[in-house]
Amino acid sequence: PITLRCSSVRGVTRRGSIIATFTICSHSKEERMSLDVVIMAAGKGTRMKSARPKVLHTLAGRPLLQHVLEMSAGLGAERLITITGHGAELVESEMRAALPAAPLAFVRQEPQLGTGHAVQQAVPELADAGTTLILNGDVPLVRPQTARALIEACGGEKLVLLTVVLDDPTGYGRIVRGGVQGDRVLAIVEHKDATPAQREIREGYTGMMAAPTAHLKRWLASLKNDNAQKEYYLTDIVAMAEAEGVPVVATIASGETEVLGVNSPVQLADLERRYQRQRADELMEAGVRLRDPARFDVRGELVCGRDVEIDVNCVFEGRVELGDEVRIGANCVLRNAKIAAGAVIHPFTHMDGEAAGIEVGEGALIGPFARLRPGAKLGAEVHIGNFVEVKNSTMAKGAKANHLAYLGDAVVGERVNYGAGSITANYDGANKHRTTIEADVHVGSNCVLVAPVTLGAGATIGGGSTITKDVPAGQLAVARGRQACLNGWTRPAKAPKKPAE
Ligand code: UD1
Ligand code: CA
């Protein structure tokens, strides 16, 4: 809506009409600056051939739509309005859970009658003036600086389109230019409606634009569906702007990756690799040595110190911190873990800190084939060897569990040596109990420590013992059947075969 102010009354006609001069009141600065973001995500994504809505498929561990919403949340918008349709309930609940603090709004579009129809559904949610940024829920890697540039160029006054020059623009809406210099944007013509000459145009519309909100509302109200697809095309507003003399600006995207959409599993995998390559390049530029950037995956946040080395096929999830000179062997999966300086993680180690997190101390040696679970807090120079599982346990400096062992709900003192095949029996079927192993204890091989139990400092547990009572400091505890040796005993022998008759 435009506000008109009557500046002077010129007179009255014979029929009684008033002749007056009006001036158009511009919106206040605040209204001009107001920003809304509309994200189109109602489409089915038929080519994904999946029961899951397309925008919930994940890239780098997060749904496509979440990438767009997270980027948008940094733009300072009043509202982030997502148009949902296919799988709307699931899309809405997953996004609300993922971004609880963002100003999310959802509008349903049923049935889906085109991109113009999609944005029409958002009109009641939009401000009266300012800028509306329109994005796609299936174009996950659009950069914040690109979005900001569109918003700035729009300034609540111009229609700004993000375009891309492609070798093969098949399927894209074409940017039709003309005017005296031939560079004025006149219209977007959809591929299916384009003439053979228009199909030669290599500049395509990316699906992203920034529009003056007041104009946008008006243009949307007059869209028609008299086209090849019988859809309400959002792109038809370009010709409307041109006809009204509203400036139209086409900004050519600087990179291809940020304007690529996902329509199929092949495209999803391609974008995943592009994303991972970008993360890998950033880390290598910061000095991290990746053995092979093509075999490296970050699905969250990876923070690295100096002289970090990462071998092939490692996956980092959640938040992972690697201190100076940390080395990660091949085929490790690390989630929510903090590894201190100089620690070495040998191949095939799995760490999942979940919410409680995992800490690995300075100079610790972990793996190969180690498993660290939530609440594993390992001190400096701890050694965890192959097929050792540690959960919700602290191990003090220099403690070792080198082979085939389980430590759950335990407190392990300095320099403890925990033998091969030993376990803490921490679960009685109903409750978890703690095991305390004080400094310098030696636990032999194949012991069962039935919690709750305390092994006093310097105690020794004989191999094969089942320990159910506390062991005083410094003592040897042996709890197993005594060995017996029978003199003169002979092995059973087979009876000799009778010769055949
Ligand atoms: C659209 C553009 C085209 C552009 C191309 C870039 C129009 C008319 N055409 O074409 O100029 O080159 O994107 O990829 O806008 N959607 C809805 N509701 C609908 C229809 C679509 O929410 O009723 C959503 C889809 O889920 C998708 C986005 O809008 O996220 C684009 O829809 P899509 O059908 O892929 O657009 P195209 O026809 O390819
Ligand atoms: Ca379409």
Residue 83 in contact with ligand 1 by CB distance below 6 A: yes
8 Å CB contact between 182 and 245: no
CA–CA distance, 96 with 102 (Å, rounded to integer): 8
Residue 225 in contact with ligand 1 by CB distance below 6 A: no
Output DSSP code: residue 85. B
Maximum CA extent, the chain: 144
**pLDDT at position 282, please?**
98
Active-site residue among 191, 350, 403, 442?
403
**pLDDT at position 19, please?**
82
Residue 207 in contact with ligand 1 by CB distance below 6 A: yes
Helix (H) or strand (E) holding 213: helix 213-221
Report the C-alpha dihedral over residues 327, 328, 329, 330, rounded to 10 degrees.
-140
State both tokens at 160: 């700004």
CA–CA distance, 392 with 386 (Å, rounded to integer): 19
Angle ∠(272,275,279) on CA atoms, nearest 5: 135
**pLDDT at position 27, please?**
62
Catalytic residue list contains 403: yes
Strands 174-178 vs 159-165: parallel, antiparallel or unpaired: unpaired
Task: Give the model confidence (pLDDT) of 37-96 as tens digits.
Answer: 999 999 989 999 999 999 999 999 999 999 999 999 999 999 999 999 999 999 999 999
CA–CA distance, 238 with 100 (Å, rounded to integer): 35
CA–CA distance, 458 with 447 (Å, rounded to integer): 17
**Rounded to the nearest whole angstrom, what is the distance from the C-alpha of residue 42 to the centroid of ligand 1?**
10
CA–CA distance, 407 with 45 (Å, rounded to integer): 47
ω into 368 cis (within 30 of 0):
yes
The alpha carbon dihedral of 139, 140, 143, 149 has a sign of: positive
If one residue of 83, 115, 203 were mutated to test the ligand 1 pocket, choosing by the most ligand atoms within 8 A of its CB, it would be 115
Q: What is each CA distance from 222 to 117, 131, 187, 218, 225, in whole angstroms?
A: 11, 19, 16, 7, 10
The model's pTM = 0.90
**Rounded to the nearest whole angstrom, what is the distance from the C-alpha of residue 115 to the centroid of ligand 1?**
5
Q: What is the pLDDT along the chain (501 residues), one digit of tens a residue?
A: 566 667 677 778 888 788 877 766 666 666 668 999 999 999 989 999 999 999 999 999 999 999 999 999 999 999 999 999 999 999 999 999 999 999 999 999 999 999 999 999 999 999 999 999 999 999 999 999 999 999 999 999 999 999 999 999 999 999 999 999 999 999 999 999 999 999 999 999 999 999 999 999 999 999 999 999 999 999 999 999 999 999 999 999 998 999 999 999 999 999 999 999 999 999 999 999 999 999 999 999 999 999 999 999 999 999 999 999 999 999 999 999 999 999 999 999 999 999 999 999 999 999 999 999 999 999 999 999 999 999 999 999 999 999 999 999 999 999 999 999 999 999 999 999 999 999 999 999 999 999 999 999 999 999 999 999 999 999 999 999 999 999 999 999 999 988 877
Tally of CA atoms within 13 A in the half-sphere of 96 that contains its CB: 8
Report helix, strand and coil shares of the chain as percent, to nearest 5. Answer: 20, 35, 45
